[in-house]
Amino acid sequence: MYRLPPIPPAALRKLAMAIALALPAIRPLPVYAAETGQTDTPGATRTFNIPAQALTDALNAFIAASDWQVGFPAEIAQNARSSAVNGHFSPQQALDKLLQGTGIGYRLTGPGNVMLEKKAITEPQSAATLPPVTVTGKVSYADSDPRNPFYNRTIASSATKTDTPIMDTPLSIQVIPKAVLDDQQAIRVGDALRNVSGYFDSRGEEYVYDTAYLRGFATDSRQYIDGLRDLPQSHSLAMIDRVEVLKGPAGALYGRMEPGGLINYVTKRPLDTPYYSLQQQFGSFDLYRTLADASGPINKDGSLLYRVNMEYLSSNSYIDVVNKERGFIAPSLTWKISPRTQLDLDFRYHDVNGPTTFGVPAVGNRPANLPISRFIGERATDDGDSSLLYGGLSLSHAFSDKWKLNAKVGYNYEHQFSAGTFINTLDEATGDASLFYSDYDYTEDSIQGIVNLTGNFKTFGLEHTLTVGGDLYKTDGRTNSSYFLCDTCGTSFPSPINIFQPITYDRPGINLAAETSSPVSTSRTSWWGLYIQDQVTIAEDWHLLFGTRYDQAHSSSDGADVTDDGEFSPRAGLLYRPLNWLSLYTNYVKAMNAANTSRLIPGSQRRPEMSEGWEAGVKGEWWDGKLNAGLTYYELTKKNISHSAADAALAAQGFNVLVGEGRSQGIELDVSGRITEFWSLIASYSFTRTMFTKDVTDIQGKQFANVPEQAASLWSKYDFAGLGWQGFWTGAGVYLAGERQGDRANSFQLPGYARVDAALGYAFNAGPSKISLQFNVDNLLDKRYYSASTWETRSFGSQPGMPRTFLGSVKVEF
């Protein structure tokens, strides 16, 4: 086929304007990829750096960068605003990204020639007619599309607070999108994070808190939602669009946190095309889970959008007498005030009920060989209730095509009640155990705000993306009542048990009426930080990132000052992209971590925990971003760890010293995406070597608890549409973990294991609706294993993993 030579960019801009003026009467029609019949030119990628701006200006920039010709009626671009496009893409991919959220599609009129057309939004969409379009003859999806089946993402904002392609980011970041969560029928956060290298479980079947181990270090339960620090809770995945995990210290942008990494949950946002879904799940141990999702425009011009996500879960457990109930609702509203200004309002209510499971004790160098159904507690008194209320407001405004402001404010209120009985002392030879009872009623509220300014500019031929911002975070906690009782200090404590004998669950438990609660106590944290970051593109192939943050954090207990820490957290990274599919990078990070609030030996200087680390890695991207991978080597050190004093007398009085130091070194591999049009996978491997390098006690030279030296995961899905069986798919996965230490003293170990999962699904269209049937089996081979040593102690906390578990699902989308 004869093809005209490329037209110079200046001529293209003039041509586009002429077309826009000459075609005002063209009638807009919906266009979809299947109508084009065109295919991509292999490897035809270019570098695009187009900020979000007025659509006409963005199209001119696209024309100049792609040598494509774009026609459009004049009225179609009025008051429309483009999305940003930064990175290496084919022209088709770049145009798809540029038009995301505009309600505008296009059709191919010739090689390198397209006509923009308005997409209809009044007619219901079927599974075969999806909102995003491409000119490849295959359906393309926006990242936010609820039907997006891809296992990878090419852009993640958590690492830099900008929409920078992962291939151009000199940091290690993994993304677990909604498609993976759906295919694996994930219910807990741990179900999603098990696909990330360097992640290890820390809570077992726990529903109260979400914590994790990343790169060997236990993360704080205060994780992030849409970039805002969250109160401790067990997050519902009902509202989660994807989970982004930034590896290593993240203090340069986010402030005080543990050094292993940042976990950020990106929520589902209101859509400009109507979407509704209802899902019912049912499974082993009387599990029933109902999910609902509704979104779309409220008014005719689409300036007001809404979304509501809901969840209700009720389940028993493989552990005797344990049951869980979770309710969740999250409405949100988007107001597009103008093409440059948008306001978002979010609300969440979350409630979880059910007792905490304290696991089993260690006997010898292994968890006690007890039935995994054994509940070591008191049914009469053990219980839990946690509720959380959140309200937030976000404002984004583009001052120009190159400068944009984002501001957020959020308020959390949390109430927690927990009562549990666990082992205090154990005679490992006989199995005789005395018990300890803990009961507390706690409330906490927090308020936080973020202001972030991002700008794009050039100096001396260098392209800059500058980010400047600050945040404020305050919490007030109150322990309304608390009881900490044992058989030697409680007047009504139940008699001891023998862990090797059957336990009766009809014991009366503790009589709190005969006990005295500890006094009411309060705690307060105030924290503010300022940060600056610059991302510099040099000659297109080199990407330099550098920045720093200053934090001032203060904590008090019962009105008395405890800590007052101020530190800088710098980081720098360099990435070289010699080929479109290959990136090489390295970075160095230093950050402030947790406050040391323990009681110190008199005369000691109180200092916060600090960490520093460096890493070097390789990233690859193939088939126009359909498959990506990352291989990283890192070394991470945490300093000023608090440990009991070496002097036994001082240690008995609760005194600590800040001389502890721990180091984690490792290799991580992550792969996700599509190998073929019908075969998807997500896989990880980690080699993690940990050690306490300094300490005044006997743990120097010991390994960290809960961290296997080697671990791996693989989940693979095949769609049988490639064989003519439309709608059928199957999936299978294997999760492996080596032997792990159960406590800091390395006195016992959790054995290694391999767990196999499987899934089968079928989807079909019924009128405008898509109906999906799915069946998953977790732990297919019914392997007995231990997922975590939750409290890193011999007396209790070794959590048995779930046995073979079945989970079915019926989902309707329209």
Please state the rounded mean pLDDT for residues 128-132: 40
Please tell me the predicted confidence (pLDDT) of residue 84: 77
- Per the structure block, which two tokens stand in for 406? 């984002």
- Residue length, the chain? 814
Please state the rounded mean pLDDT for residues 482-488: 85
Please tell me the predicted confidence (pLDDT) of residue 513: 86
Residue 91 binned pLDDT confidence (cut-offs 50, 70, 90): confident
Crossing angle between the packed helical segments 9-22 and 55-66, to the nearest 10 degrees: 140
Please tell me the predicted confidence (pLDDT) of residue 24: 34
The helix (H) or strand (E) run that includes residue 480 is: strand 462-486
Report the CATH number that the domain containing residue 313 is assigned in CATH. Answer: 2.40.170.20
Q: Residue 355: inside a domain, yes or no?
A: yes
Residue 18 binned pLDDT confidence (cut-offs 50, 70, 90): very low
Of the ranges 52-56, 516-520, 622-626, which one carries the lowest mean pLDDT score?
Answer: 52-56
Label residue 314 exposed, middle or buried (CB < 10 Å: 0-12, 13-18, 19+): middle
Please tell me the predicted confidence (pLDDT) of residue 120: 52
Contact 614, 262 (CB under 8 A): no
* Among candidate residues 70, 97, 118, the one where a domain is terminated: 118
Between 83 and 361, the more confident residue is: 361
Please tell me the predicted confidence (pLDDT) of residue 527: 94
Please tell me the predicted confidence (pLDDT) of residue 798: 95
Label residue 396 exposed, middle or buried (CB < 10 Å: 0-12, 13-18, 19+): middle
Strands 753-766 and 228-229: unpaired
Q: How far apart are CA 813 and CA 767, in angstroms?
A: 11
Contact 558, 522 (CB under 8 A): yes
Q: Residue 212: inside a domain, yes or no?
A: no
Q: Residue 605, Cβ neighbours under 10 Å: how many?
A: 6
> 668-695 burial string, b = 16+ CB within 10 Å, else e?
bbbbbbbeeeeebbbbbbbbbbbbbebb
**Which of 132-141, 152-161, 510-519 has the largest mean confidence?**
152-161
Q: How far apart are CA 800 and CA 805, in angstroms?
A: 14
pTM, entire model: 0.84
Q: Residue 252: inside a domain, yes or no?
A: no
Contact 756, 707 (CB under 8 A): no
Q: What angle do CA 119, 123, 124 make, to 5 degrees?
A: 110
Q: Residue 229: inside a domain, yes or no?
A: no
pLDDT surpasses 50 at 429: yes
Contact 202, 212 (CB under 8 A): yes
Q: DSSP letters along 297-337, please?
A: ESSTTS-EEEEEEEEEEEEE-SSTT-EEEEEEEEEEEEEEE
Label residue 420 exposed, middle or buried (CB < 10 Å: 0-12, 13-18, 19+): buried
Distance of CA 625 to the CA centre of its chain: 21
Please name every residue paired with 41 in a beta bridge, in sequence order, or none if there are none: none
Q: How far apart are CA 188 and CA 791, in angstroms?
A: 19
DSSP helix/strand/coil, 380: coil
Please tell me the predicted confidence (pLDDT) of residue 139: 54
What tens digit of pLDDT does each residue of 313-363 get? 999 999 999 999 999 999 999 999 999 999 999 999 999 999 988 999 999
What tens digit of pLDDT does each residue of 202-225 get? 777 766 778 889 999 988 777 899
Residue owning tokens 């994807």:
242
Please tell me the predicted confidence (pLDDT) of residue 78: 66
Between 791 and 275, the more confident residue is: 275
Residue 28 binned pLDDT confidence (cut-offs 50, 70, 90): very low
pLDDT surpasses 90 at 731: yes
Residue 7 binned pLDDT confidence (cut-offs 50, 70, 90): very low
Please name every residue paired with 313 in a beta bridge, in sequence order, or none if there are none: 289, 326
Q: How many domains does the chain have?
A: 2
Contact 733, 715 (CB under 8 A): yes
State percent of the chain over pLDDT 70.
90
Please tell me the predicted confidence (pLDDT) of residue 207: 66
Q: What is the CA radius of gyration of the chain?
A: 28
Residue 434 neighbours by CB under 8 Å, 6+ apart: 423, 424, 425, 486, 487, 488, 496
Q: How far apart are CA 268 and CA 226, in angstroms?
A: 10
Residue 3 binned pLDDT confidence (cut-offs 50, 70, 90): very low
Contact 761, 788 (CB under 8 A): no
Fill in the amino acid letter for 260: G
Contact 550, 520 (CB under 8 A): no
Q: What's the per-residue H, E or C state across 677-740?
A: CCEEEEEEEEEEEEEEEECCCCCCCCCCECCCCEEEEEEEEEEHHHHCCCCEEEEEEEEEECCE
Please state the rounded mean pLDDT for residues 26-38: 32
pLDDT surpasses 80 at 118: no
Q: DSSP letters along 572-638, please?
A: EEEEEEEETTEEEEEEEEEEE-----SPBPTTPPP---EEEEEEEEEEEEETTTTEEEEEEEEEEEE
Please state the rounded mean pLDDT for residues 476-485: 94
Rounded to the nearest integer, the mean pLDDT of the chain is: 88
Q: What angle do CA 569, 573, 180 make, to 5 degrees?
A: 95
Residue 400 neighbours by CB under 8 Å, 6+ apart: 53
Contact 594, 256 (CB under 8 A): yes
Contact 584, 576 (CB under 8 A): yes
* Among candidate residues 118, 148, 176, the one where a domain is terminated: 118
Q: Residue 249: inside a domain, yes or no?
A: no
Containing domain of residue 769, as a range?
Answer: 275-813
Label residue 507 exposed, middle or buried (CB < 10 Å: 0-12, 13-18, 19+): middle
* Among candidate residues 62, 93, 118, the one where a domain is terminated: 118
Q: Residue 369: inside a domain, yes or no?
A: yes
pLDDT surpasses 80 at 490: no
What tens digit of pLDDT does each residue of 257-277 get? 899 999 999 999 999 999 999
Residue 740 neighbours by CB under 8 Å, 6+ apart: 200, 705, 706, 707, 708, 749, 750, 752, 789
Closest CA to 259 of 219, 231, 224: 219
Report the CATH number that the domain containing residue 59 is assigned in CATH. Answer: 3.55.50.30
Contact 703, 683 (CB under 8 A): no
Between 234 and 467, the more confident residue is: 467
Q: Residue 506, Cβ neighbours under 10 Å: how many?
A: 8
Residue 144 binned pLDDT confidence (cut-offs 50, 70, 90): confident
What tens digit of pLDDT does each residue of 539-589 get? 889 999 999 999 999 999 999 999 999 999 999 999 999 999 999 999 999
Q: Residue 141: inside a domain, yes or no?
A: no
- Per the structure block, which two tokens stand in for 470? 């600050």
Please name every residue paired with 311 in a beta bridge, in sequence order, or none if there are none: 291, 328
Of the ranges 28-32, 425-429, 510-514, which one carries the lowest mean pLDDT score?
Answer: 28-32
Please tell me the predicted confidence (pLDDT) of residue 742: 95
Q: Residue 159: inside a domain, yes or no?
A: no
